[in-house]
Amino acid sequence: MQTETVVENPYRQLFLAQQANSISLRAQSWKARRKLLKGFLAFVTDNRSRIHQALNADLGKSEIETDISEVYPVVTELKHAINNLSNWVQPEPVDAPLTFLGTTSEVQYEPKGVCLIIGPWNFPFNLTLGPLVSCLAAGNTAILKPSEFTGNTSRLIRELVQEYFQEDQVAVIEGDADTAAQLLKLPFDHIFFTGSTAVGKIVMRAAADHLSSVTLELGGKSPTVIDSSANLRDAAKRIAFGKFLNVGQTCVAPDYVLIDKAVEREFIELLQQSIISLFGVDGHLTPQSPHYGRIINSRNFNRIDTLVQDAIRLGATVELNGTSDAAQRFFHPVILSGVAVDSKIMAEEIFGPVLPILSYTHEDEILPIIQSRPKPLAFYIFSTRSAFRQKLTDAVSAGAVCMNDCVLQFSHPNLPFGGVNASGFGKAHGRHGFLAFSNEKPVLKQKRGLTMSSFLYPPFNNRVKRTINLMLRWL
Ligand code: NAD
């Protein structure tokens, strides 16, 4: 007879400690949560220079870029939660229809319990700690699993969490996919995952074992349409910023451009100038430029390079390029025109500093290209024609639409952030993030004595029949 060896999950004790704490946290007032968030705010603001150093070491980010894309989003999320928590936690009364006469009902927001937050490497500080704000605002405990590819930032997050939180409220486990797989075996009450669509599927399968709820913040190809009415100078500058910030390693970066052929040439020239003037120094973009970062690792460097080579082999024209340096993971911005729709670069998320440009002669060529691909995380439309913008907005299912700008929708505190189907589901940020980590619990209170519902109790005689007929007809 074989004896089965049961290997204990290394994180079970931590999980159980958080579970016990999460039960006691249910009795805590929202003011205690707000106090915790204020401490969290100090965690970020008091350690800015350590955050700068970590992000520079991991992704070659400049201090200002780190402030804009890592520190500021977490700080605004925190301030927004601190200022609005007293409203978010209030039970929401709902009206009673005639059939519920006498009852009073409301929706109460209860914490889900113990949550797992798995973060990506591209904005490793922002996208691991941003969800933690909503998680704590909603009264939960959390285990964080930051990305293994940004070791300096992940270590800093662990050290700061140890300094500022009790382990049974927030804990950090560093590690790779195997570590994440161990964590996913535990019965979390909610899992908030940010990363690739492929891993999102693995996370969702694991969550199914415990019926843990999930928020999946995934990626995809975000299309950018530019028509001939657009202000091309503005479009070029905004797209240059949104696409080449973080060296294109941004989930909401414009992935490809679909432009009216009549203005394609002018746009390409403006885009070339914008990229160099935003990210270069003295008209050149070299590894010495302090405004431009690095590709996360050699695997991604080679993957992006292969996409470019494949597009060129299939006939694309290189409109902008420069000397890249694989050893330093410095990938010079690339613009491609005349890209074949069936090239690899149009099949997978680019997630790098390469912008393919496709042109159309008739507007009816636009939608088939977008609609034949999975639903994107973001859809950008540059046009001064409101009817055109609305037509595209109605036709395309996307996580978000942003008109005459890009990426900006991510940081709006009152807009839900998230994808749809392949680009993810569940919403983050502000009140939407608070709701993602809360159970919206309906609470109904019935009055004493005769109630409307008692007219429907058995025996099912003619009186009940008349009542239900009346209800079906009039109520
Ligand atoms: P990834 O999916 O490779 O990794 C994300 C996290 O999942 C990491 O912490 C990693 O350790 C973990 N992981 C990896 N393999 C796993 C497995 N088999 N089981 C469990 N966990 C596993 O993603 P990434 O490369 O870090 O990030 C890039 C992707 O993330 C892009 O597709 C991008 O579009 C997407 N993204 C989406 C958003 C958003 O908000 N929607 C934001 C940033 C990045």
The string of DSSP letters for 39-81 reads HHHHHHHTTHHHHHHHHHHHH---HHHHIIIIIHHHHHHHHHH
At 277, give phi and psi (nearest 5°).
-70, -30
Q: Pick the residue whose CA is nearest to atom 42 on ligand 1.
A: 251
pLDDT at 98: 86
- What is the model's pLDDT at position 370? 98
* Nearest CA, atom 39, ligand 1: 217
Q: What is the pLDDT of residue 401?
A: 98
Q: For 51, what's the count of Cα atoms within 13 Å in the CB-facing half-sphere?
A: 26
DSSP element (H, E) containing 36: helix 30-45
CA of 418 relative to ligand 1 center, distance in Å: 14
Strand, helix or coil at 278? helix
Pairing of strands 424-425, 213-217: antiparallel
DSSP string for 359-421: EESSGGGHHHHHHTSPPPS-EEEE-S-HHHHHHHHHH---S-EEESSSSGGGG-TTS-B---G
* Residue ID of nearest Cα to ligand 1 atom 31: 196
Neighbours of 140 (CB within 10 A): 28
For the stretch 412-430, pLDDT in tens is 999 999 999 999 999 999 9
Q: Distance from the CA of 162 to the center of ligand 1, in angstroms?
A: 24
State the angle between helix axes of 151-164 and 30-45 in degrees (0 to 180), rounded to the nearest 10: 130
Whole-number Å distance between alpha carbons of 471 and 475: 5
d(CA 9, CA 183): 8
Q: How far apart (Å, rounded) are the C-alpha atoms in residues 145 and 128?
A: 8
- Is 22 within 8 Å of 141 (Cβ atoms)? yes
Best substitution site from 11, 199, 300, 410 to test ligand 1's pocket, by max atoms within 8 Å of Cβ? Answer: 199
User: What secondary structure does DSSP assign to 116-127, as a single string?
Assistant: EEE--SSSTTHH
What pLDDT score does 1 carry?
45
Q: Is 251 a catalytic residue?
A: yes
- What atom in ligand 1 is closest to the CA of residue 349? 32
Domains of the chain as residue ranges with CATH: 12-218+427-439 (3.40.605.10), 223-418 (3.40.309.10)
Distance 340 CA to ligand 1 centre (A): 28
CA of 466 to the centre of ligand 1 (A): 59
Ligand 1 pocket: which of 122, 125, 201, 350 to mutate (most atoms <8 Å of CB)? Answer: 122
pTM for this entry: 0.95
Task: Extract the tokens encoding 230.
Answer: 């657009």
- CA–centroid distance, 82 to ligand 1, in Å, is 28
Distance of CA 177 to the CA centre of its chain: 20
Cα 363 to the center of its chain, rounded Å: 30
Q: Which atom of ligand 1 is nearest to the CA of 118?
A: 9
Hunting for tokens 């996409």 — which residue is that?
A: 307
CB-CB contact of 134 with 436 (8 Å): yes
How far are the Cα atoms of 91, 94, 103 from residue 100, in angstroms, in the given order? 19, 11, 6
Q: Tell me, what's the pLDDT at 448?
A: 84
Among 70, 77, 217, 349, the one annotated catalytic: 217
pLDDT, residue 5, reads: 60
Residues of the chain with pLDDT under 50: 1-2
Atom of ligand 1 nearest to the CA of 251: 34
Tell me how far the alpha carbon of residue 301 lies from the centroid of ligand 1, in angstroms: 17
What pLDDT was estimated at residue 453?
85
Six-digit token pair at 176?
Answer: 């790779």
Pocket test for ligand 1, best of 204, 251, 304 (most atoms within 8 A of CB): 251
In this structure, the residues whose C-beta lies within 6 A of any atom of ligand 1 are: 118-122, 127, 145, 147-148, 176-177, 180-181, 194-196, 199, 202-203, 217-219, 251, 349, 351, 377, 419, 424
Candidates 115, 251, 402, 406; catalytic one: 251
- Report the candidate in 167, 106, 109, 164 with the shortest Cα–Cα distance to residue 138: 109
